[in-house]
Structure formats: structure tokens, C-alpha cells
Amino acid sequence: EVYLLESGGGSVQPGGSLGLSCAASGFYFAASAMSWVRQAPGKGLEWVASIDGSGYSTWHAPSVKGRFTISRDNAKNMLYLQLTSLKTEDTAIYHCAGRRGPAILSSILNDYDYWGQGTQVTVSS
């Protein structure tokens, strides 16, 4: 059974930082491209960042580029997202997602087959 479990969310002030983690099991993690996707209150899903199976190639949405960093540790079956310089508009539930198909980057949400339940990030003063 595929399992993705996010952790590390919380409440921070604008300008603060958080580190999110996603533990994966039940599929060949190192062969899977992974992404972080978020959903702000009252809005749809928004792609945040992707990383290929090897971890060498990454892609970040313009809204978070330079502030967020996606990474992975294939030996531990872990995906990470480092969030810095947080803004109130970053408030959302953050989900990790895995792709069963080619282990290449994709910002297309329908390309992802596995989804976690998410972890809440709240940015407010």
C-alpha cells in the first residue's frame, strides 16, 4: 500500500521559516518524480515544486522560487520542502505527491498518482 505522510507544518510570522517532510512507502521512491502541491483556503490546488527521481533536477513555481527549496533523500525515502521568507499568501495545506510514470519533472497535477493528506502552514502576524 502506498503511503505518503507529511509533517513539519505549523504557524509562523511573516518572514519566518519552516521545514516540511514527507515520508514515503509502498512504491519505488527513487524512481518517482515528486512534487509539493498546496491548497490555500477557498482556492484550488497549486503546484509548488518538483524534483526528479535522482534529486539532481528541481523546478520551483515562480511564486516560491528563491524562497522555497525542494529536496529528497532516496536512502531514507524522504521528500523535503524548506520554506523561507514566508508570506501570508503562503498559508495553505501542503501536500506531497508522487508520480508512478516517468521520473521526470512535471507541474501537471494529473501526472501524480500518489498523494498525502497534507500538513497545514499558517503565516500570520
What is the SS3 string spanning 1-66?
CCEEEEECCEEECCCCCEEEEEEEECCCHHHCCEEEEEECCCCCEEEEEEECCCCCCEEECCCCEC
Q: What pLDDT is attached to residue 86?
A: 98
Helix (H) or strand (E) holding 68: strand 68-73
pLDDT band at 104 (very low <50, low <70, confident <90, very high): confident
Tell me the average pLDDT across 31-55: 96
**φ and ψ at residue 33, rounded to 5 degrees:** -70, 145
Q: What pLDDT is attached to residue 32?
A: 94
pLDDT band at 92 (very low <50, low <70, confident <90, very high): very high
For the chain, what is the mean pLDDT? 96
Tell me the average pLDDT across 81-90: 98
Least confident of 6-15, 70-79, 104-113: 104-113
**Res. 105: pLDDT tops 80:** yes
Q: What does the pLDDT look like over 7-18, one tens digit per residue?
A: 999 999 999 999
